[in-house]
Chains A and B, each alone.
Chain A
Amino acid sequence: MDLFSNIALGFQTAFTAEALFYCFLGCCIGTFVGALPGIGPMVTISVALPLTFGLDPTVALIMLAGIFYGAQYGGSISSILLNLPGTASTAVTALDGYPLAQSGRAGFALFINAIASFCGSTLSIIVVMAFAPAIAEIALRFNSTEYFAVMVLGLVAACTIGGGSPLKSLVMVVFGLILGIVGMDINSGAMRYTFGFLELTDGISLISVAMGLFGVAEIVRKMAGPSTHASKTMIQDLSLASMLPNREDLSRLWLPILRGTSIGSMIGALPGAGPTVASFMAYAAEKKASRDPGRFGKGAPEGVAAPEAANNAAVQAAFIPTLSLGIPGDVVMAILLGAMIMHGVIPGPQFIANEPAMFWGLLVSFWIGNLILLFLNLPLIGLLVRIITVPSRILHPVVIFFICLGSYSVSNNIFDVFVTLVFGVLGYVLVRRGFHPAPVLLGFILGPMMEENLRRSLVIARGDPSVFLERPASAVMLGLAFLLIVMPLRKPALRFLSRVRR
């Protein structure tokens, strides 16, 4: 089992004209649907799935996977340019990407996005290639106790996201947690806050919350605000020189990219966590690590680089449990797994040994796909930036149309469209009152997972809460969360101590 001969085998599979063509096609479709607010990779892959029946299984998967990671690139484009996250995992990119674009550096922000995404994916693919089976084993050792600890850490870190008052962020996290409760409780089967709507049994749709709070709210805000006829902020310097980061930028960005990649690869490999959680955690970590956290939320390049590296790394790492254990981490992975089974390939522990050409071919194609995406995205930046200059009377109705379409297509249900619009109104009210919607999204995603894992750990431990401190990984993470809470109290405490000593 030589890594290099395996990679060579992968190149043989992925470098056929057919594979390259479908890889390119998948990446293009992915970027396109990713950039459209509301229509994400999940819907696209389910639509594209039956179209791939006639293809060779490897080629079909190369294309479907291309849609998945291509959408991560595309999703950040609309986040940065329009403050409308194309996919939930790129919502956090808007926090700093959009202010950058507003200050006339849209090209620069898109450039960082492309580079960070590429670096994150490439490094993560290398990790997958070298350690996939080992990582799968470690991820298995991650029990509900550890999941709970990670969620707590994530939520505590999240209170720093969004800038402004930490109290307001906290309120928004709690609001998100409450929204996450809606639906049937999987432990007792009790309906919580469904008000008799069968459609709410599985909870509020993530797409509806994200698109409503970010997308619809942003458009309402723009329409309610003073009309800006090509205001100064809209004029962008489109020369290549203005986009390229200078040496100072680069030296400041490589660490955030590396940190984002490590967080992304770790979170992505855990079944159930996914790229959205990874991007939020990377952003929070970056803000903590920064010497000047005040810049975040106002157009800090690190605020784009870290979460983008993280969500792309997570997307690649998510293939680890799917391919090596047959355990899909999220809905999109479940659809890809379904696609494999439909093509007669059953992923699992024997998959790598039984289908080496397919496994290594897929991994190599991921890397080729990311290279394609990089070269697809860079030349397009100049063109994309012009989206900002499209008159709002044309742009806004089009965006609202796509948001409605996207909400509908998740489960082909009109109910979700109304939910999206309700959240749009709510999001507008929140923004007007100075509350940022990003922590809502995190609370909404992490809340149900945290509750599930808390209750699960307690059931398995027969009701003994000391289990959270007995398991080392969980104890360390809960300790970190505790530190994050008491750290701000450090300086006043030291001052107090020195006074006492004197």
Chain B
Amino acid sequence: MTTIRNMMAVSVAAMLGLAGSVSAQSFPDKPITMIVPFAAGTSTDTVSRLIAERMSEDLGQTVVVENRAGAGGSVGTQDVVSSDADGYTIAMGTVGTLAINKSIFPELPYDPESDVTPIAFVGYTPTLLVVSAESSFQTLNDLVEAARSEDGVTFASTGNGTSTHLAGELLKTLSDTNMIHVPFGSGAVGLAAVMSGEVDFMFNHPVSAKQNVDAGKLRALGVSGAAGSEVAPEVPPINDSYEGFDLIAWWLMHGPADMPADVTEKLNMAVTNALASDAVSEHFVKSGISKGEIPFAELEGFISSEVNKWGDIANAANAQAN
């Protein structure tokens, strides 16, 4: 294992050396590859493809989207991090690949704080805490009260160490109650289990949950972001009752470390223009994604603060699990 890691380190070093300083005057003079570290059809993939299309128009070169899924996005991200830092290989990063994975995968081969050049913040979405419409929990308080019993309440997630799991763990920690984690391989199956009442609650992406809320199959008791959700403005933020419950899922375009500043700037402009386009705006509204207003200079600090925030939650959860 050590040999593999050493080999990786050597190859990363070699590639960084090769990258050197590439003239950015003519950038881009060939197609750009955007690695999406998740499967086709996922929300990250959808967002990436829409943005890649606008970026291609803007840059005059095709931005090719390539899906390279695996290990919660770590496989594809590692490929980008270890490629030439010339701007021709970039990635769509997420709260998972750039923050959570660091505390979840002990053998993560890259460090989101030092192996990455942030290009632009793309957008974010809070998640909804939903229960079945037939459930007796009418408010967040009902749920928390029930969780004080010995049997507690159960919550579904998309797997150990995912944002949906950690959100539940944070609520458990902040309310100091008994909330039992029930991992599901896919969020869709987990949502079905909540609908049927098999599991008590779940944190879910607002769009897939919202339709079922409107149809009277689910009830939303809270929203994870401090500012609420544009999709469901009537749902109260959990942060109002439990301060510190400010969790959002976000997307951030990035490349390998040490990208030339002028190349990064060009790419940043292209993403910014793409975000301003009608096609992307429309999709964001429909999907409940908000545009982020994080200035370029603050991106690195943002990644660090998110790494720490999720790391704390993960540590607290692990401490309780053992």
| Residues of chain B lying within 8 A (CB to CB) of residue A341 | 43, 46, 207, 286-287
Which chain B residue shows the least CB distance to A147? B189
B residues sitting closer than 8 Å to A (CB atoms) are: 1, 4-5, 39-43, 45-46, 49, 53, 65-72, 74-75, 78, 104-105, 107, 109, 151, 154, 159-161, 180-186, 188-189, 191-193, 195-196, 198-199, 207-208, 211-212, 214-215, 217, 282-283, 286-287, 321
Please give, as numbers and ranges, the residues of chain B lying within 8 Å of A342 by CB-CB distance.
41, 46, 49, 283
Is there contact, CB below 8 Å, between B217 and A349? yes
Using a CB-CB cutoff of 8 Å, which residues 183-205 of chain A contact chain B?
A: 184-189, 191, 195-196, 198-199, 201-202
Q: Answer whether A188 and B160 are a contact pair too, CB < 8 Å, given A201-B74, A334-B188, A411-B68.
A: yes
B49/A459 in contact, CB under 8 A = no
What are 28 contact pairs spanning A and B, CB under 8 A? A45-B41, A46-B41, A144-B193, A184-B160, A186-B160, A195-B1, A198-B78, A199-B71, A199-B75, A202-B70, A272-B185, A326-B212, A334-B41, A334-B42, A334-B186, A334-B188, A336-B41, A341-B43, A342-B41, A342-B49, A342-B283, A344-B286, A346-B207, A350-B214, A350-B215, A459-B180, A459-B182, A462-B151
Give the A-B contact count at a CB cut-off of 8 A.
157
Report the bound CA distance from A331 to B186 in whole Å.
10
Q: Do B70 and A198 touch (CB < 8 A)?
A: yes
Please name the residue on chain A nearest to B152 by beta carbon. A462
Whether the pair A189, B1 counts as a contact (CB closer than 8 A) is no
| Given A198-B75, A336-B41: A413 touches B70 (CB 8 Å cut-off) | yes
Is A357 interfacial (CB 8 A cutoff)? Answer: no
A116 contacts the other chain (CB 8 A): no
Excluding A186-B184, A186-B185, A413-B68, 8 further A-B contacts by CB distance (< 8 Å) are A144-B193, A185-B160, A199-B75, A325-B192, A325-B195, A346-B207, A452-B184, A462-B180
Closest to B50 in A: A342
Chain A residues within an 8 Å CB radius of B196: 140-141, 143
Q: B182 to A460, Cβ gap below 8 A?
A: yes
In whole angstroms, what is the CA distance A184 to B214 when docked? 36
Which 8 pairs across A and B sit closest by C-beta, in order of nearness? A338-B41, A46-B40, A335-B41, A348-B211, A201-B71, A349-B215, A189-B160, A196-B1
Contact A187 B70 (CB under 8 A): no
Evaluate whether A328 and B198 lie within 8 angstroms (CB atoms) in the complex, with A186-B160, A186-B183 already known: no
Distance, CA A210 to CA B195, complexed state (A): 34
**B104 surroundings in chain A (CB, below 8 A):** 189
Q: Which residue of A lies closest to B286 (CB)?
A: A344
Among B4, B40, B198, point to the contact of A196 (Cβ < 8 A). B4
Q: Which A residue sits closest to B151, measured CB to CB? A: A462
Contact, CB under 8 Å: B198 / A198: no
**Contact status of A338 and B45, CB under 8 A, knowing A46-B40, A199-B70, A411-B69:** yes
How many whole Å from B66's CB to the nearest CB in chain A? 6
Given contacts A338-B40, A338-B41, A326 and B161 within 8 Å (CB-CB): no
Name the distance in Å between B94's Cβ and chain A's nearest Cβ: 16
> Which residues of chain A have C-beta atoms less than 8 A from B195's C-beta?
140, 325
A30 interface residue per 8 A CB criterion: no
Q: Please determine whether B212 and A411 come into contact, CB atoms closer than 8 angstroms.
A: no
Whole-angstrom CA separation of A342 from B154 in the bound complex:
32
B contact residues around A350 at 8 Å (CB): 211, 214-215
Q: How far is the CA of A344 from the CA of B104 in the complex (A)?
A: 34
When distances are taken between beta carbons in the complex, the residues of chain A under 8 Å from B45 are 338
Instruction: Check A456 for interface membership: any CB of B closer than 8 A.
Output: yes
For A344, the chain B residues whose CB sits under 8 A away are 282-283, 286
Residue A277, interface by CB 8 Å: no
From B39, B65, B199, residue with most partner A Cβ within 10 Å: B39
- Tell me whether B40 and A411 are in contact (CB under 8 A): no
List the B side residues contacting A462 at CB < 8 Å. 151, 180
Cα distance A331–B154 in the bound complex, in angstroms: 26
A406 at the interface (CB under 8 A from B): no
Instruction: Enumerate A140-192 residues with CB–CB distance to B below 8 Å.
Output: 140-141, 143-144, 184-189, 191
In the complex, A459→B183 CA distance in Å?
A: 10
A189-B161, A199-B75, A341-B46 as given contacts; A143 in contact with B198, CB under 8 Å: yes
The residue in A189, A334, A348, A349 that gathers the most chain B C-beta atoms within 10 A of its C-beta is A189
Check if A209 is an interface residue, CB within 8 A of chain B. Answer: no
The residues of B that contact A412 with a CB separation of less than 8 Å are 66-68
A338 and B212 contacting across the interface, CB-CB below 8 Å: no
A321 to B212, CA, bound (A): 13
Complex Cα spacing A186 to B69, Å? 17
Give the nearest-CB partner of A346 in chain B: B211
- Contact B40–A49 (Cβ < 8 Å): yes
Give bound CA distance, A271 to B39, whole Å: 19
Instruction: Say if the beta carbon of A327 comes within 8 Å of chain B.
Output: yes
Bound Cα distance A327, B214 (Å): 16
Note all chain A residues with C-beta closer than 8 A to B193. Answer: 143-144
User: Which residues of chain B are within 8 angstroms of A338 by Cβ–Cβ distance?
Assistant: 40-43, 45-46
If the complex has contacts A196-B1, A198-B74, are A271 and B109 also in contact, measured as CB distance less than 8 A? Answer: no
Residue of B nearest to A43 (CB): B40
Closest to A411 in B: B69
Q: Known: A186-B160, A460-B198. Contact between A198 and B215, CB under 8 A? A: no
A71 within 8 A of B: no
Residues of chain A within 8 A (CB-CB) of B151 are: 462
> B46, A349: Cβ atoms under 8 Å?
no
- The minimal Cβ–Cβ distance linking A290 to chain B, given in whole angstroms, is 34
Residue interface mask A322-361, B partner, CB < 8 A = 1? 0001111001001111110110101011110000000000
Given contacts A196-B1, A327-B189, contact A348 B215 (CB under 8 A): yes
A189 vs B71: C-alpha distance when bound (angstroms): 11
Query: Which chain B positions have C-beta within 8 A of A488?
Result: none
A50 at the interface (CB under 8 A from B): yes
Inter-chain contacts of A199 with B (CB < 8 A): 70-71, 75
CB of A198 within 8 A of CB of B109, answer: yes
B40 and A335 contacting across the interface, CB-CB below 8 Å: yes
Alpha-carbon distance A338/B207, docked complex (angstroms)? 12
Q: Which residue of B lies closest to A410 (CB)?
A: B69
Q: How far is the CA of A271 from the CA of B217 in the complex (A)?
A: 17
Cβ contact within 8 Å between B41 and A321: no
Q: How far is the CA of A411 from the CA of B68 in the complex (A)?
A: 5
> A326 to B211, Cβ gap below 8 A?
yes
Q: Which residues of A contact B189 (CB under 8 A)?
A: 271-272, 327
Give chain B residues whose Cβ lies under 8 Å from the Cβ of A186. Answer: 159-160, 183-185
Name the B residues within 8 Å of A196 (CB-CB): 1, 4-5, 107
Nearest to A409 among chain B residues (CB) is: B67
B75 close to A327 (CB less than 8 A): no
A92 to chain B, nearest CB (A): 23
In the complex the two chains form, what is the Cα distance from A462 to B199 in whole Å?
A: 12
Separation in Å of the A148 CB from the closest CB of chain B? Answer: 13
Tell me whether A202 and B67 are in contact in the complex, defined as CB-CB below 8 angstroms, given that A49-B40, A331-B39, A348-B215 are known contacts.
no
Query: In the complex the two chains form, what is the Cα distance from A325 to B217 in whole Å?
Result: 10
Contact check, B198 vs A201: say whether CB atoms are below 8 A apart.
no
In chain A, positions 39-67 with a C-beta closer than 8 Å to chain B are: 45-46, 49-50, 53
